[in-house]
């Protein structure tokens, strides 16, 4: 039985690798070779990557692609996307070109408020807590000034602090519910620093005024940001929805609206529908050095805000005009974090014209909307697998270690045949026999 190791973090990178491959792999030389081939030969660049996280042993690469021809509010973008899933970049690019010819995407930022909370338990009655909070609220803000002064100079800072009574849900439970404006910063460290100062002041004042009958449980930002909203939409005359000779523009519009309506009422469909949106969103969020896990959590919570998980996108036909739109919460940053450290993140942001956080919110939302449009277009016309499996063909051929000549023959063959794992295997066997 494998025994735990003491002091793993203190080992050198080589020491970590040697212990891992000798302990968990049958062919330790092969396992070590795989890790080493992904270690950057530029020592300074590798050291930079090593210091992003703890216990680094190598680098894990994802493809960085670009989806061109996105017209957003009259400005042309090529959008960077870091993702491993076949057909995502191609689908986004196709949707971008489709809407470029129909006026492009229209976007606007609705609000940019971010949230943090201090959670505490107090054994005093609610009226006493309310009076106590009203008395100390100015001091909470004042004693955080050393943290907020630089943000305030740029136009951001603490927007408000409210007391929330949650005692009906849990005895003695209250919150300091604080709202913030963090401008171009993602703001996680800023918000958490403010919250911890609030908690310190709260506890000190409670010990003085409330006889120690208050205990702070924790202080932490929320990744649910329903008031940090961006809207993206496309629209055109129904008659302009002509791109598939097998379906009329009117029938296509009708099916698109029906498909979205199903996702608005059926959670099983809504989850997959929204996952497709996140294919586009996550890829851009990751490429620009933002926290895609936080974005995912906040957006999915928003999709369930009325008690049932629903579609994030909406569609309608009114007066002969087809409109497809989405409003989502997006807390993003273009300064801080990896934005000034990771070379490819810096490259991606320059590609986008060094956007502000608000501009990036709009670009990311458009990528999600485009991805969803592309998916629904396939689902309601040819089916999703035709395009997806042709894109997946390369992955299958690589699994079978097909040569360049074999790949060329198989690509030609599957232009007129259905792609599946077994079909590719059979075709490759026949090819090699001949």
What are the extents of the domains in the chain?
8-50, 65-110+231-382, 114-222, 387-433
60-76 pLDDT, tens digit per residue, is 999 999 999 999 999 99
Count the neighbouring beta carbons within 10 Å of the beta carbon of residue 292. Answer: 17
Does 3.30.70.420 match the CATH number of domain 114-222? Answer: yes
Tokens 């994802």 belong to 62
Per DSSP, the residues of 172-232 read: TEEEEEEEEE-TTB--HHHHHHHHHHHHHHHHHHHHHHSTT-EEEEEEEEES--TTSEEEE
Distance CA 287, CA 395 (A): 22
158-206 pLDDT, tens digit per residue, is 999 999 999 999 999 999 999 999 999 999 999 999 999 999 999 999 9
Residue 263, pLDDT above cutoff 60: yes
Q: Compute CA 4 distance to the chain's CA centroid, rounded to the nearest angstrom.
A: 35
141: tokens are: 């803000």
Catalytic positions, please? 85, 275, 291, 388
* pTM confidence score: 0.89
Percentage of the chain lying above the pLDDT 90 cut = 83
Specify the pLDDT at position 248: 92
Q: The CATH number of 65-110+231-382 is which of 3.40.50.2300, 3.90.1170.20, 3.40.449.10, 3.90.770.10?
A: 3.90.770.10
Structural contact between residues 234 and 373, judged by C-beta atoms closer than 8 angstroms? yes
Phi, psi dihedral angles at 63 (to 5 degrees): -65, 140
The rounded mean pLDDT for the chain is 94
Distance CA 394, CA 85 (A): 12
Among residues 112, 237, 134, the alpha carbon closest in space to that of 180 is found at: 112
Where are the alpha helices (H) located in 210-316, listed in sequence order?
249-265, 267-287, 292-303
Distance CA 421, CA 334 (A): 41
């Amino acid at each position: 039985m494998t025994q735990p190791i003491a002091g793993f973090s203190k080992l050198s990178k080589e020491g970590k690798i040697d212990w891992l491959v000798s302990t968990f792999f049958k062919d330790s030389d092969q396992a070590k070779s795989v890790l080493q081939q992904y270690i950057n030969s530029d020592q300074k660049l590798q050291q930079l990557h090593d210091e992003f996280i703890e216990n680094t042993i190598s680098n894990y690469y994802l493809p960085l692609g670009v989806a061109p021809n996105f017209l957003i509010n009259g400005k042309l973008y090529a959008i960077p996307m870091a993702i491993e899933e076949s057909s995502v970049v191609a689908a986004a690019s196709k949707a971008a070109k489709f809407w470029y010819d129909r006026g492009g995407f229209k976007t606007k930022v609705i609000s940019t408020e971010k949230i943090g909370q201090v959670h505490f338990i107090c054994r005093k009655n609610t009226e006493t807590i309310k009076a106590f909070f009203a008395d100390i609220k100015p001091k909470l803000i004042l004693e955080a000034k050393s943290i907020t002064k630089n943000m305030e100079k740029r136009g951001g800072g603490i927007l408000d602090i409210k007391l929330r009574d949650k005692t009906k849900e849990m005895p003695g439970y209250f919150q300091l519910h604080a709202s913030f404006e963090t401008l171009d910063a993602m703001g996680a460290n800023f918000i958490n620093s403010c919250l911890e100062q609030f908690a310190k002041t709260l506890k000190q004042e409670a010990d003085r005024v409330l006889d120690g009958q208050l205990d702070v449980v924790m202080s932490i930002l929320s990744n649910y940001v329903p008031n940090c909203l961006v809207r993206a939409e496309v629209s055109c005359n129904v008659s302009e929805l002509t791109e598939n000779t097998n379906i009329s523009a009117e029938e296509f519009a009708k099916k698109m609206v029906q498909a979205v309506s199903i996702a608005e009422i059926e959670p099983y469909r809504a989850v997959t529908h929204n996952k497709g949106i996140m294919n586009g969103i996550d890829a851009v969020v990751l490429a620009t050095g933002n926290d895609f896990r936080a974005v995912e959590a906040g957006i999915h919570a928003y999709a369930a805000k009325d008690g049932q998980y629903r579609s994030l996108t909406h569609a309608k036909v009114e007066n002969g005009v087809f409109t497809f739109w989405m409003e989502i919460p997006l807390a993003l940053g273009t300064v801080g974090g990896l934005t000034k450290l990771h070379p490819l993140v810096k490259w991606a942001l320059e590609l986008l014209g060094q956007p502000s956080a608000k501009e990036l919110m709009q670009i990311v939302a458009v990528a999600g909307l485009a991805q969803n449009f592309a998916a629904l277009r396939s689902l309601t016309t040819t089916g999703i697998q035709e395009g997806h499996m042709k894109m997946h063909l390369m992955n299958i051929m690589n699994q079978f270690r097909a040569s360049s000549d074999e790949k060329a023959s198989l690509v030609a063959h599957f232009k007129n045949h259905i792609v599946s794992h077994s079909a590719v295997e059979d075709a490759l066997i026949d090819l090699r026999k001949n």
